[in-house]
Structures are given as structure tokens and as C-alpha cells.
Amino acid sequence: MSIRAQVCAGPAIILVEPQLGENIGAAARAMANFGLRELRLVKPRDGWPNDAARASAALAGEIIDRATLYGSVADAIVDLNYLAATTARSRFLAKPVLAPDGAAAALFERHAAGLRCGILFGKERTGLENSDVSLADVIVTAPVDPGFASLNLAQSVLLFAYEWRKLVNPESLGRSLPDAPKGAGQRFKASRPAERHELIGFFEHLERELDACGFLFPPEKRDTMVNNIRTMFTRMAPTEQEVRTLRGIVANLRRGPWKGTGSP
């Protein structure tokens, strides 16, 4: 892989003495989900290449194929300018401690400046050694329940990869398909958001009927009741189709049993 390709791939995900091939494959899959591409392995217990890792990676086989193998943590990080180390244990080391989102931000800032970055993940049973953590610039710890703080290796990678993706492409949500969500927010299809005059028309229609049936009583409380009702429906952010449906409901309740008369 060229240096430029490595930079474009984001920070290196470094698995230190991973035990199960299945966990390596699941970690690669988590990387692929969120756009990370560079996987480094330090002394995987069951050797390399590993068929179980490839099977668990599913469609992330390219990451498995391009994974690089190292004999020590020192060898795996020799080209990096900035390194984070994940751990759930108190280490009594004088290092900054960041949550996954803070770590992603710190790595993203340096990555954007052209620096080479990486993040260490320890073996499943015991995590990273203090000697490994001592080589890192920062410690990364997820805000897990202290009564059950142990995370699966792939889960740990997923937490960081998710936070990384939010920084790299915050507008992206879902699959890259024509009808897939492209960003957070309200989804509009056939019906646009109602315009104010349509909402006001509905409010006036509803309030006429509520006055007629005696709901807006006593008179001195009418304004407060009307404001509360309007606030409730405005908070819904209804579409123009929904407003027409609501007006149809009010009209047909006024008429009595529905006979297919439609909305006004």
C-alpha cells in the first residue's frame, strides 16, 4: 500500500495478540462498515493467514487480504506520529484519557494535517500490557457500565470506527442506494411540509368545531386552550397531506357516520 493510500484509509487499527480468527474478521467487518481500511496484526495467536478471520469478515475480505503482520507492538507503530491505546482498566499512567468520540476527534485532527495515526486494541482475555500503553499518546476508554466493562474486540473497534465515520462523513446515513437516507433530519417523499396558511386553516376549522361542541369552555380559558392545541399540532411538523387528513377527520366527525364524502 502506498503512503498516500494509507493516509486516505484513516488511522491504522492495530490488534495486539488477537486470539480468535473470528474476532479479527469481525473487527475487519466493523472497519469496513465505517470506512477504515488499514489493519495491522501483532502476533495473532492462531497464526496468519486465518480462514476463520476471512469467513467472519464477510464482504470485508480485502481488509483481511491487505492486513500486515508484525512481531511486536514497537514494530507495528514505528511509522506513526500519534498513537492511542484502548483499555478499560486504570493504568496509573500520566496520560490523557479520552472517550471514543474524543479519541476520534484527536486522531482526525492529526490525520487531516497529514500525520500518521493508529489505535491499539488489546487481546481478548487481558487487554493491552502496560508496556504497550506506555508507548501511546492517549488512553481511550468507553463509558461502559463499571460492573461489566469488558468489550468484545470487534465491539471496541466498532465504537471507535463509528465515531471516526461521524467526523469523516457526518452527512452519510445508511447504504449508498438511490432511496437510502443521506443525512439526519426529516424525511419527505410524496408530501411536502405543510405551509403556515394550511396549518392555520386547519386550526381555525378545528376551533370552530370545538366551539360548536362546547369543548373550549369556560371562555376565560379559551385562549390558553387554543394555544396549547396549536402548539401540540405544530410540534408534529405535519405534511400538507397530513393536514388534509386531519381536516377530513374533523369534517366527518361533524357530519356523523362516514359515507365516503372525502375531505373538505
Q: One digit per residue, pLDDT tens: the chain, 264 residues?
A: 333 334 346 999 999 999 999 999 999 999 999 999 999 999 999 999 999 999 999 889 999 999 999 999 999 999 999 999 998 776 667 788 999 999 999 999 999 999 999 999 998 888 899 889 989 999 999 988 888 878 899 999 999 999 999 998 877 666 655 555 556 555 555 678 888 899 999 999 999 999 999 999 999 999 999 999 999 998 888 889 999 999 999 999 888 665 554 444
The answer to whether residue 208 is domain-embedded is: yes
Instruction: Please give the full DSSP string across 83-105, using - where no structure is assigned.
Output: EEEE-SS-------EE-HHHHHH
- 209 and 91 within one domain: no
pLDDT at 33: 93
- 46 and 129 within one domain: yes
- 155 and 35 within one domain: yes
The answer to whether residue 175 is domain-embedded is: no
- 155 and 203 within one domain: no
CATH number of 35's domain: 3.40.1280.10
- 123 and 8 within one domain: yes
The answer to whether residue 157 is domain-embedded is: yes
The count of domains in the chain is: 2
The answer to whether residue 188 is domain-embedded is: no
pLDDT at 179: 53
The parent domain of residue 238 ranges over: 196-255
- 39 and 157 within one domain: yes
Q: Name 221's Cβ contacts closer than 8 Å, sequence gap at least 6.
A: none
pLDDT at 163: 96
The answer to whether residue 180 is domain-embedded is: no
CATH number of 232's domain: 1.10.8
pLDDT at 191: 74
Cell triple for 118: 493508529
Q: Are strands 82-86 and 12-16 parallel, antiparallel or unpaired?
A: unpaired
The answer to whether residue 26 is domain-embedded is: yes
> CB of 111 within 8 A of CB of 170?
no
